[in-house]
Amino acid sequence: MGRLAGKTAIITGGASGQGAAQARLFAAEGAHVMIADIGTDRAQALVDGIGPSARHRTADVTEESAWAALVAETEAWTGRIDILVNGAALYDPKPFPDSAAGDLDRHYRLNVRGPFLGMKAVFDLMVRGGGGSIINVASGVALRSFPGMLAYSASKWSLRGLSRSAALDLVPFGIRVNTIFPGLIDTPLLGGNSPEYLDFLRQMVPMKRLGQSDEVAFAALFLASDESSYVTGAELSVCGGINI
């Protein structure tokens, strides 16, 4: 307990799945958590469960104005931003023959533009606070190839490059930038699949099981905490071996 005491975090896509697990864990470790998501009802339910150390704001993270309002509200609440987790993402797989330029644009808008705008938006406040930790959530498709994921994969590879470049650029300001690459995680995204297909997915993983959102959250906790003070530009794969 207390690994994030006194810190404030913004988590995008924080109302469900991996983001919700991060919000609960960060709050349990002493952080104030601002949850940014378009799912208002889910976000409010999560905040109610966490208590006064959490708040939420409905935000379209692809818009600069939404980020400005989100940062302003967070600063008014706690006076600081120490941690940013860019977890909001679009996942709409299609095979190549069915893919159009618009699919690429939609994925890049949320999966690349969103994190870029987030990093820009928190920069000044992080610098004034003496530094911070930015965690970008990519995907195993940015480490290995899977069929039917052209636009999604391209956007996550782009996020990987964005993170590595930002890590070097932000070193002089005391801001660390690291990337998490989740593998097959048991989230609502997979919940609609048949038991047979879920078993097929498990067999693809060397550990023969799906990951849990809490396992990704603990990786994010390490990168958010001062325990990783000498870690920047790192690529942490939480995948049961499937990304090897």
Mean pLDDT over residues 140-154, rounded? Answer: 91
Residue ranges covered by each domain of the chain? 8-234
Residues forming a β-bridge with 77: none
Give the residue, 189 or 8, on which the prediction is more confident. Answer: 8
The tokens describing 101, both together, are 């330029």
Question: Which residue spans within the chain are E strands per DSSP?
Answer: 8-12, 32-37, 54-58, 83-86, 132-137, 175-182, 235-238
pLDDT exceeds cutoff 80 at 1: no
Element (H, E) at 123: helix 114-128
d(CA 138, CA 201): 19
The tens digit of pLDDT for each residue in 176-235 reads 999 999 999 998 777 778 899 899 999 999 999 999 999 999 999 999 999 999 999 999
The tens digit of pLDDT for each residue in 86-127 reads 999 999 989 999 999 999 999 999 999 999 999 999 999 999
The tens digit of pLDDT for each residue in 11-32 reads 999 999 999 999 999 999 999 9
Taking alpha carbons only, the member of 141, 184, 49 closest to residue 14 is 49
Which residues are the active-site residues? 152
The pLDDT of residue 146 is 85
Place of tokens 């990951």: 211
Topology (CATH) of 8-234: Rossmann fold (3.40.50)
HSE toward the beta carbon, residue 85, CA cutoff 13 A: 35
The tens digit of pLDDT for each residue in 56-94 reads 999 999 999 999 999 999 999 999 999 999 999 999 989
